Structure 1
């Protein structure tokens, strides 16, 4: 399985200056993103939670106002969220993982795993992997920025 991955520290600017989020704050933000990714990811224009499960949820996202895709989101140990792609023949899973860097700052890793069909498409058409990497690589910083901003807006202890 082909894997693409990006890791950034979860730090950004708020009205008080630079702000680092702790792992629990990031987890709470990722839960909000699972419920409603619209504020976090440009291009996703709608989301409907179809089912709730003890370990996550099933959702249907709308991309660019027209394409729909279902994802089974599974929560693991308050540090990993796996978005299993049900309708996308080229993507198998998208992972959102909370970690720490060498300086102890909380990090967010976005990992994309292509399906066997996606890997085959990438071998036939190199631009497929490039465009997939460009898209997902381009959404990591906006996700971090939204996590920091939404934490600042919800205030301390929220």
Structure 2
């Protein structure tokens, strides 16, 4: 697999190269930022299988089930994302929503969330403290098994606080993906009972 290297531009379509990464982080440098300056972009990704073929007792989820779980997480991420204490939808549209989230630190963030049905939910933040795009992608691995991939492109400036945020995402978002799948399994099991 060819990952972006220093000097490569990171574009939205780059997510496809990240789908087959089991767990990885790499640093890519975007050549030109908004103000013509060089911008260091941190890219974090993790993909996990939705269903474990080796676990016959596990409630199997289909693409529509995972999609429903991602929509629940988009509307209220508090049960899924550690450190998030509030999530309020302030605007809805056919293809997404705008939400305001509050973290334990007290930081209030507004995110635009877009939906690409049964394929991707994307979260965009752009303010004076940070810029990011986070994708939750539903796909398939080489064996045809359903996957859920977290992929984030972060412009957090280059300081200690930025590294703390990136480190928190490397740990927190895989856990959020696991919670999303666990809560979705519970919902599917409850509907089947």
Short-chain TM bin: 0.7 to 0.9
Provide the TM-score with structure 2 as the length reference: 0.66
Q: Deviations over 1:110-151 (max 9, x none)?
A: 111123xx3xx33xx48834x344222212332233223222
After superposition, residues 6-155 of structure 1 pair within 5 angstroms as 6-11=46-51, 17-64=57-104, 66-87=106-127, 89-115=129-155, 118=156, 121-122=157-158, 125=159, 128-129=162-163, 131-154=164-187, 155=190
Q: Which runs of 5+ in 1 are unaligned?
A: none
Summarize the Cα distance change of 1:137–1:19 in structure 2 as closer, same or farther, 3 Å threshold. farther
Report the Cα offset of residue 88 of structure 1: 5.9
Q: Give the structure with the higher percent helix.
A: 1
Report the Cα offset of residue 25 of structure 1: 1.0
Report the Cα offset of residue 104 of structure 1: 2.1
Task: Give the secondary structure class of the aligned counterpart of 1:102.
Answer: coil
Higher relative contact order (CA 8 A, sep 6+): 1
Q: Contact 1:8/1:107 (CA < 8 Å) preserved in 2?
A: yes
Summarize the Cα distance change of 1:147–1:157 in structure 2 as closer, same or farther, 3 Å threshold. farther
Q: Contact 1:10/1:106 (CA < 8 Å) preserved in 2?
A: yes
* Stretch deviating more after TM superposition (134-143 or 45-54): 134-143
Summarize the Cα distance change of 1:17–1:137 in structure 2 as closer, same or farther, 3 Å threshold. farther
Q: Contact 1:82/1:96 (CA < 8 Å) preserved in 2?
A: yes
Q: Which runs of 5+ in 2 are unaligned?
A: 1-29, 31-40
